[in-house]
Structure 1
Amino acid sequence: MTKFGVSQPVRRVEDQRFLTGHGRYVDDIAPASAAHAAFVRSPHAHARILSVDVSEAQAAPGVRLVLTGADMDAHMDHDIDSAVVVNRDGTPGAKPRRTVLAVDRVRFVGDAVAMVVADTPAQARAAAELIAVEYEELPAAFDTARAMEQPEVHPDVAPRNLAFDWAFGDEQAAEDAFARAAHVVELPLVNNRVIACPIEPRGAFAEWDPEAERLHLCFNGQGVWGLKEQLARRLRLDPGQVRVTNPDVGGGFGMKAFPHPEHFALAVAARLLGGAVRWMADRSEAMMADVQGRDHVTHARAAFDENLRLTALRVDCVANMGAYNSAFAQNIPSTLAKYVLPGVYDFQTAFFSVKGVYTNTTPVDAYRGAGRPEAIYVIERLMEWSARRLGVDPAELRRRNFIPREAFPYRTLAGELYDVGDFERVLDRAMRESDWNGFEARRAEAAARGMLRGRGMCYYIESILGAPNETARIEFAEDGGVNLYVGTQSNGQGHETVYAQILSQRAGLPFDRIRVIQGDSDLIAKGGGTGGSRSVTTQGTAINAAADEMIEKFRPLAEEELEAAAADIVFEEGAFRVAGTDRAVEMIELARIAREKGRADLLTTEREATLPGRSFPNGCHVCEVEVDPDTGAARVVRYVVVDDLGVLMNPLLAEGQVHGGVVQGLGQALSERVVHDENGQLLTASFMDYALPRAEDVPMIEFHSEPTPSTANPLGMKGCGEAGTVGALAAAANAVLDALAPAGVTHVDMPMTPHRIWTWLQEARARRA
Structure 2
Amino acid sequence: MEKFGKSQSVTRVEDLRFLTGHGGYVDDVAPEGALYAYVMRSPVAHATITTLDTQDAEQADGVRLVLTGDGMQAAGITASIWGVTIKNRDGSDAASPYRPVLATGKLRYVGEPVVMIVAETLDQARDAAELIELDYDELPAKMDLARGGAAVHDDVPDNLAFDWDMGDEAACQAAFDRAAKVVRMEVGDNRVIVNAMEPRGCYAEWDGTRLHVCFNGQGVWGPKTHFANVLKLEPENVRVTMPDVGGGFGMKSPAYPEYYACAHAAMLLGLPVRWMSDRTEAMLSDHHGRDLVSEAALAFDETNKIIGYRVDTRCNLGAYNSNFGQIIQTTLFSRVLMGTYDVQATYLRAEGYYTNTVYVDAYRGAGRPEAIYVLERMMDMAARELGVDPWELRRRNFIPVASFPYKAATGETYDVGDFSRVLNHADSFADRSGFAARKQASAAQGKLRGIGLCYYIESILGDPSEGAKVEFNEDGTVTIYVGTQSNGQGHETVYAKFLSDQTGIPFDLIQVVQGDSDRIAQGGGTGGSRSVTVQTNATLATVAKMVQAFTPYLAEKMGVDADQISFDDETFRAPGSNLTPTFVEAAAMARADGRTDLLTHEDRATLPARSFPNGAHVAEVEVDPETGKTDLVRYTVVDDFGNLINPMLAEGQVHGGIAQGAGQALLEQTVYDEDGQLLTATFMDYAMPRAADMPFFRFETEPVPSTANPMGMKGCGEAGTVGAMAATTNAVLDALWDSGVRHVDMPLTPSRVWGYLQDVSQTG
Residue 460 of structure 2 is aligned to residue 469 of structure 1: no
Residues in 1 aligned to 2:53 and 2:472: alpha-carbon distance in whole angstroms? 57
Deviations 1:182-234 (A, max 9, x none): 01000101100000000000000000112xx1100000000001111011121
* Structure 2 equivalent of residue 37 of structure 1: 37
- Give the TM-score, by structure 2 length: 0.99
Please report how far the alpha carbon of residue 566 of structure 1 lies from its aligned counterpart in structure 2 after TM superposition: 2.5
Tell me if structure 1 keeps the 8 A contact 2:443–2:449: yes
SS where residue 467 of structure 1 aligns?
Answer: coil
Residues in 1 aligned to 2:547 and 2:51: alpha-carbon distance in whole angstroms? 66
Amino acid across the alignment from 1:152: A
* Structure 2 equivalent of residue 352 of structure 1: 348
The alignment yields a C-alpha RMSD, in angstroms, of: 1.3
Amino acid across the alignment from 1:197: N
* Structure 2 equivalent of residue 373 of structure 1: 369
SS where residue 441 of structure 2 aligns?
Answer: helix
**Equivalent in 164, 167, 170 of residue 166 of structure 1:** 164
Residue 504 of structure 2 is aligned to residue 505 of structure 1: no
Tell me if structure 2 keeps the 8 A contact 1:72–1:78: no
Residues in 2 aligned to 1:544 and 1:567: alpha-carbon distance in whole angstroms? 20
Please report how far the alpha carbon of residue 240 of structure 1 lies from its aligned counterpart in structure 2 after TM superposition: 1.2
Residues in 1 aligned to 2:252 and 2:496: alpha-carbon distance in whole angstroms? 25
SS where residue 557 of structure 1 aligns?
Answer: helix
* Structure 1 equivalent of residue 150 of structure 2: 151
Tell me if structure 2 keeps the 8 A contact 1:165–1:353: yes
SS where residue 743 of structure 1 aligns?
Answer: coil
Tell me if structure 2 keeps the 8 A contact 1:507–1:548: no
- Between the aligned residues of both structures, percent identity stands at 59
User: What is the correspondence of 1:525-544 to structure 2 with a 5 Å cutoff?
Assistant: 525-544=521-540
SS where residue 444 of structure 1 aligns?
Answer: helix
Amino acid across the alignment from 2:523: G
* Structure 2 equivalent of residue 684 of structure 1: 680
User: What is the correspondence of 1:448-487 to structure 2 with a 5 Å cutoff?
Assistant: 448-487=444-483
* Structure 2 equivalent of residue 139 of structure 1: 140
Please report how far the alpha carbon of residue 10 of structure 1 lies from its aligned counterpart in structure 2 after TM superposition: 0.5
Residues in 2 aligned to 1:63 and 1:337: alpha-carbon distance in whole angstroms? 47
Please report how far the alpha carbon of residue 5 of structure 1 lies from its aligned counterpart in structure 2 after TM superposition: 4.8
Please report how far the alpha carbon of residue 4 of structure 1 lies from its aligned counterpart in structure 2 after TM superposition: 12
**Equivalent in 648, 651, 666 of residue 652 of structure 1:** 648
Amino acid across the alignment from 1:161: N
* Structure 2 equivalent of residue 589 of structure 1: 585
Please report how far the alpha carbon of residue 580 of structure 1 lies from its aligned counterpart in structure 2 after TM superposition: 7.2
* Structure 2 equivalent of residue 97 of structure 1: 98
* Structure 2 equivalent of residue 214 of structure 1: 210
Tell me if structure 1 keeps the 8 A contact 2:79–2:229: no
Residues in 2 aligned to 1:655 and 1:385: alpha-carbon distance in whole angstroms? 30
* Structure 1 equivalent of residue 21 of structure 2: 21
Deviations 1:475-520 (A, max 9, x none): 0011111000000000010000110111111111111111000000
Deviations 1:406-445 (A, max 9, x none): 1100000111000000000000000000011111111111
Seen in structure 2, the aligned counterparts of structure 1 residues 2 and 86 have a Cα distance that, compared at 3 Å, is closer
Tell me if structure 2 keeps the 8 A contact 1:562–1:585: no
Amino acid across the alignment from 1:42: S
Please report how far the alpha carbon of residue 73 of structure 1 lies from its aligned counterpart in structure 2 after TM superposition: 0.7
Deviations 1:740-767 (A, max 9, x none): 0000000000001000000000001111
Residues in 2 aligned to 1:618 and 1:150: alpha-carbon distance in whole angstroms? 41
* Structure 2 equivalent of residue 196 of structure 1: 194
**Equivalent in 757, 761, 764 of residue 760 of structure 2:** 764
User: What is the correspondence of 1:24-423 to structure 2 with a 5 Å cutoff?
Assistant: 24-75=24-75, 76-144=77-145, 146=146, 148-158=147-157, 160-210=158-208, 213-423=209-419
**Equivalent in 688, 703, 708 of residue 707 of structure 1:** 703
Amino acid across the alignment from 2:27: D
Tell me if structure 2 keeps the 8 A contact 1:68–1:115: yes
Tell me if structure 2 keeps the 8 A contact 1:631–1:754: yes
Deviations 1:521-572 (A, max 9, x none): 0000100000000000001100111011011100112212222222432211
Residues in 1 aligned to 2:575 and 2:247: alpha-carbon distance in whole angstroms? 48
Amino acid across the alignment from 2:350: V
Deviations 1:352-378 (A, max 9, x none): 000000110110000000000000001
Runs of 5+ in structure 2 lacking a partner? none
Amino acid across the alignment from 1:556: P
Deviations 1:690-744 (A, max 9, x none): 1000000000111101001100011110100000000000000100000000000
Tell me if structure 1 keeps the 8 A contact 2:140–2:675: no
Tell me if structure 1 keeps the 8 A contact 2:314–2:350: yes
Residues in 2 aligned to 1:504 and 1:474: alpha-carbon distance in whole angstroms? 12
SS where residue 581 of structure 2 aligns?
Answer: strand
Residues in 2 aligned to 1:346 and 1:228: alpha-carbon distance in whole angstroms? 42
Tell me if structure 1 keeps the 8 A contact 2:141–2:674: no
* Structure 1 equivalent of residue 422 of structure 2: 426
Please report how far the alpha carbon of residue 678 of structure 1 lies from its aligned counterpart in structure 2 after TM superposition: 2.6
Tell me if structure 2 keeps the 8 A contact 1:201–1:283: yes
Please report how far the alpha carbon of residue 68 of structure 1 lies from its aligned counterpart in structure 2 after TM superposition: 0.6
Residues in 2 aligned to 1:81 and 1:44: alpha-carbon distance in whole angstroms? 24
Residue 546 of structure 2 is aligned to residue 560 of structure 1: no
Runs of 5+ in structure 1 lacking a partner? none
SS where residue 330 of structure 1 aligns?
Answer: helix
SS where residue 309 of structure 2 aligns?
Answer: strand
Residues in 2 aligned to 1:578 and 1:311: alpha-carbon distance in whole angstroms? 61
Tell me if structure 2 keeps the 8 A contact 1:507–1:551: no
SS where residue 738 of structure 2 aligns?
Answer: helix
Deviations 1:59-84 (A, max 9, x none): 10000000111011123233101111
Tell me if structure 1 keeps the 8 A contact 2:204–2:211: yes
SS where residue 171 of structure 2 aligns?
Answer: helix
Tell me if structure 1 keeps the 8 A contact 2:46–2:106: yes
- Give the TM-score, by structure 1 length: 0.98
Deviations 1:222-274 (A, max 9, x none): 00011110111211111111100000000000000111111110110000001
SS where residue 202 of structure 2 aligns?
Answer: strand
Amino acid across the alignment from 2:215: F
Residues in 2 aligned to 1:567 and 1:637: alpha-carbon distance in whole angstroms? 61
Amino acid across the alignment from 2:234: D
Please report how far the alpha carbon of residue 6 of structure 1 lies from its aligned counterpart in structure 2 after TM superposition: 3.4
Please report how far the alpha carbon of residue 628 of structure 1 lies from its aligned counterpart in structure 2 after TM superposition: 0.3
Tell me if structure 1 keeps the 8 A contact 2:560–2:577: no
Amino acid across the alignment from 1:503: L
SS where residue 740 of structure 1 aligns?
Answer: helix
**Equivalent in 607, 612, 624 of residue 628 of structure 1:** 624
Tell me if structure 1 keeps the 8 A contact 2:454–2:618: yes
Amino acid across the alignment from 1:389: E
* Structure 2 equivalent of residue 637 of structure 1: 633
* Structure 2 equivalent of residue 493 of structure 1: 489
Residues in 1 aligned to 2:228 and 2:402: alpha-carbon distance in whole angstroms? 51
Length, aligned pairs only = 763
Please report how far the alpha carbon of residue 582 of structure 1 lies from its aligned counterpart in structure 2 after TM superposition: 5.3
SS where residue 94 of structure 2 aligns?
Answer: coil
Amino acid across the alignment from 1:253: F
Amino acid across the alignment from 1:181: A
Tell me if structure 2 keeps the 8 A contact 1:637–1:698: yes
Amino acid across the alignment from 2:195: C
Amino acid across the alignment from 1:36: Y
Please report how far the alpha carbon of residue 33 of structure 1 lies from its aligned counterpart in structure 2 after TM superposition: 1.3
